[in-house]
Structure 1
């Protein structure tokens, strides 16, 4: 007498219900698993025992062979198997049951077709590739195990409708249900042909563009010319130039970050540094944090001066971070000339900029041509309109001056006469 079978982990689940039905059928037939394997002629005793364990979902053909060998209703066992499959979905949650249904009508490209065929195989009980080869060969069709494996893993699409039909036969798809798969295969071919045409057209356009900017008789850009174009765009090459449309490792002169771009994008003015906008955003965040005086180490006089100043677009060149600050009046300038607030700014910057740098604060001012205005701070608005002010955080109080000039002179002063003063050392 053999050892008793282990209890089914969850006999009320769909998988457990299937296992209970298989066990009842085997006991009713009075067969051991060895005798059952002899009747199936193709399934081992261990596979049959695992099919009735309730721990794993058996292949559909194994469950059906089990039922036939025991004299059970194969249709009932097939129905229980489908319910167990929908409940388990290969280990995924049952709430995603709709995703396990193959949708060939939604297929547009090779990846989508291979994914749908993979789902189709899973819905058929995930037969082994050897079994799929046998099924296709039994109907006079050719489907090797390696081809079926490459299709399921997405490495290869069905090369022809014959190959696709052999795969469908191996997954036991009825003839009336194969038309939608053939339509999907035709869409994939049209998509691939369109992609090839687009790629050929792009290569031709890039070749024409390169011939326009080329400095050699062969119509190609040389290493020296490519480096010059790169530097004019604000980047330094980190490796040798290979091709007009090949990825090229570069370093941004502005912020020192490294990334890859194409010379063709540089020529088309589509190459931008991904980190430069982030740098100014981080500087603005640090400046806003500084104005809250989180440590409480800054005096009231310094805080009034900082709130009257405006941070301009910063520049991180290699490891030197230049932070220009627009100062509206001489009183604010005299207060901010003291470097006592620099450690607080540097501490705030290091919390937002995750890379080493040397800080240099530049005070930008021009009072010789600064106009007087009834509402005050007109010079700040003009500087902002000229693109010098990035985002003023606070407007300083109005400043009364005796030597008032015209508004046109003020705009000229803000655009061309601003004087940078560094108070971070020599």
Structure 2
């Protein structure tokens, strides 16, 4: 008769749940650790006892051997072991934004490091000596220190040979290695692109700053003004996001001075939406899609629309009148065409537009 088992210290933890499952299986099978050691000569009774103690996480192969010796479902024990392994490594480690083990989801170097690290975890965290042996059996030479740095996310495989060696060490089949190669190449390309972008920004700042070395707040405000933007907070740096107000619609957005200098600043979406809405509605007036009286329709067709100028939320419609009668109709705030235009724009944008009209003439004055 074997000694009575000690209770698992914390049965609510992942390691405790694994230990309790092992103890329950041993009790149901009515086995002793000595019997189990005789069944499998690979491990001694003390090893099995420690595996079910709940004070430490046993090696995966020990948990599997324990399950086989007691007639337990190896897949169930394997699942508990993986959960315990993940829980034991969770403290102090930032979780990835998605499961990067699927190569197609890998976006950048950080994702690649997470994915390669997870491969070893999924394989049961074999020792680095075991991983090196697996790689050697597959025909790849790699050091245990290299495997360790990759698995702990401190190094990216530098060559395809090293990547293949690591994948073989994690028992990834040759058929699945191609997608890992694609993910590796994609992540490296993004890293190179990011490095080129950083160098471009550094060169641009040096060029704008001149002898000053860095772009000053005064120079940054000058650049903003040329871009029709107004600062709403203090300048924080050439590369730093800066809260600014659009000079056209007063929308507050975040921009970088670097993006303005390099021509990468995206147009204001709110201004663009308003400009497109006005242009579409004016075209509908010209084509007669929006009904107008004959006089108003004639004026619209022979007048030239030159665009929308926006300043601090107020839009000014720019027209070129072909004759005095057209100019009079265009400048009339209660004109039929203007009411129809504002109504259609309001329906499109969901807000009542603030519009003025500026008319220039291309006819001779008496």
The 2-side partners of 1:107 and 1:252 are apart by 33
Shift of 1:322: 0.9
Deviations 1:174-209 (A, max 9, x none): 4998xx79x979979977985786466346414421
State the aligned residue count. Answer: 269
| Residues 1:239 and 1:137: Cα distance change in structure 2 (over 3 Å) | same
Q: Root-mean-square deviation (CA), in Å?
A: 5.3
Q: Does 1:328 align with 2:306?
A: no
Q: Which residue of 2 aligns with 1:287?
A: 282
Of 160, 170, 175, the match for 1:173: 170
Q: 5 Å matches for 1:71-86?
A: none
The 1-side partners of 2:113 and 2:318 are apart by 56
The 2-side partners of 1:347 and 1:160 are apart by 59
Instruction: Note if contact 1:325-1:363 (Cα within 8 Å) is conserved in structure 2.
Output: yes
Bigger radius of gyration, 1 or 2?
1
Deviations 1:243-263 (A, max 9, x none): 223222222223333322222
Q: Which residue of 2 aligns with 1:35?
A: 28
Q: Which residue of 1 aligns with 2:308?
A: 314
| Residues 1:273 and 1:238: Cα distance change in structure 2 (over 3 Å) | farther
| Residues 1:37 and 1:253: Cα distance change in structure 2 (over 3 Å) | farther
TM-score using structure 1 length: 0.47
The 2-side partners of 1:225 and 1:333 are apart by 43
The 2-side partners of 1:347 and 1:300 are apart by 19
Residues 330-339 or 315-324, more deviating: 330-339
TM-score using structure 2 length: 0.53
Q: Which residue of 1 aligns with 2:203?
A: 205
Q: Which residue of 2 aligns with 1:227?
A: 221
Deviations 1:261-308 (A, max 9, x none): 222343445445333444322211222344577775x42322232233
Q: Which residue of 2 aligns with 1:255?
A: 249
| Residues 1:61 and 1:110: Cα distance change in structure 2 (over 3 Å) | farther
Q: Which residue of 1 aligns with 2:57?
A: none
Instruction: Note if contact 2:235-2:242 (Cα within 8 Å) is conserved in structure 1.
Output: yes
| Residues 1:115 and 1:354: Cα distance change in structure 2 (over 3 Å) | farther
Q: Does 1:245 align with 2:239?
A: yes
Q: Does 1:358 align with 2:354?
A: yes
The 1-side partners of 2:258 and 2:107 are apart by 33
Q: 5 Å matches for 1:20-169?
A: 35-36=28-29, 69-70=70-71, 109-115=109-115, 117-118=117-118, 132=125, 135-136=126-127, 157-159=153-155
The 2-side partners of 1:202 and 1:234 are apart by 24
